[in-house]
Homo-oligomer: A and B are copies of this chain.
């Protein structure tokens, strides 16, 4: 085990990112079983959902993990293990009155997701969580579309903020190893005080590989999800990370068991993972929303037509 592997933290975001696939329709038993499995596997964090306010961000028919309450977490988790809990919030969607101080909460880490143009607001919001005693991260989404200068400035701001962890987020699953190396070096240069994290998507089957490149270059927080369950093409699979980093700290067996028991039947009902439309949006460095809409339609396997639509100047120009 190298020093880098020793410092690595695995953050499983199955319930949160996977919830984007099934509308957070996980039973409390499922979430509890996952927490136990992740704990036995030695996974460092479990992200149990979003802590947005349903009043500020209403998702029709969303399950309870889209709007975490302390009550829900307590009744689901019961007794905490060494595996910490995290929640994600979006700026503008969180009611700060919903957030208890950390010593009254089951949550340890609150992660703030924002686009680069809102990094001021992101830092401000993360600062409030920091003041309540939480570990905090800021996850800069869609980094492949960020302007170089804007990103550098945002990182400098973050470097002087109370935010603990700054994430490289490959929202579109469009990045390759060289891109990860470049971004990590940039993040380290402009935010040297900060611990780094990485969150990948598997559109181009690069999620695990890119995560390992991040680790090799000094990223400490590695996002993953069990069986890769996450939006569209999904994430870096937790079982591969745990299996590969296998050491005194990690043990893959409980994950194999829960995949067999829970995720195989679940995958038969809802879809995530590598499919051609997600590969196409990844190759084109675009948000997967068009591909998600295609997969939900009767044309779900009309790949060539989809590609032509996205690459034809006329059609595309209409979005500019």
Q: Of the candidates B205, B243, B304, B307, which one forms a contact with A237 in the assembled complex, judged by CB atoms under 8 Å apart?
A: B205
Would A304 and B208 be within 8 Å (CB), given that A239-B276, A279-B243, A283-B244 are in contact?
A: no
Contacts of A274 in B (CB 8 A): 274
Nearest neighbor of A244 in chain B, beta-carbon distance: B283
Would A260 and B302 be within 8 Å (CB), given that A177-B177, A212-B176, A239-B276 are in contact?
A: yes
How distant is A277 from chain B, measured CB to nearest CB, in Å?
A: 10
Asked if A256 lies at the interface with its beta carbon under 8 angstroms from chain B, I say yes
A210–B246 Cα distance when bound, in Å, is 21
Pairwise interchain contact A208-B212, C-beta atoms closer than 8 A: no
Asked if A252 lies at the interface with its beta carbon under 8 angstroms from chain B, I say yes
How distant is A153 from chain B, measured CB to nearest CB, in Å?
A: 30
Would A202 and B205 be within 8 Å (CB), given that A256-B303, A260-B304, A303-B259 are in contact?
A: yes
Asked if A31 lies at the interface with its beta carbon under 8 angstroms from chain B, I say no
Asked if A253 lies at the interface with its beta carbon under 8 angstroms from chain B, I say yes
Interface residues on A, range: 35 or more
Pairwise interchain contact B177-A243, C-beta atoms closer than 8 A: no
Copies in the complex: 2
Contacts of A279 in B (CB 8 A): 237, 239-240, 243
Pairwise interchain contact A205-B207, C-beta atoms closer than 8 A: yes
Contact with B along A205-216 (1 / 0, CB 8 A): 111111011001
Contacts of A227 in B (CB 8 A): 276
How distant is A161 from chain B, measured CB to nearest CB, in Å?
A: 33
Contact with B along A76-115 (1 / 0, CB 8 A): 0000000000000000000000000000000000000000
22 contacts between A and B (CB under 8 A): A176-B212, A177-B209, A204-B240, A205-B207, A205-B209, A205-B237, A206-B208, A208-B209, A209-B210, A227-B276, A237-B279, A240-B279, A243-B279, A243-B283, A244-B283, A246-B283, A256-B276, A256-B303, A256-B304, A257-B303, A260-B301, A274-B274
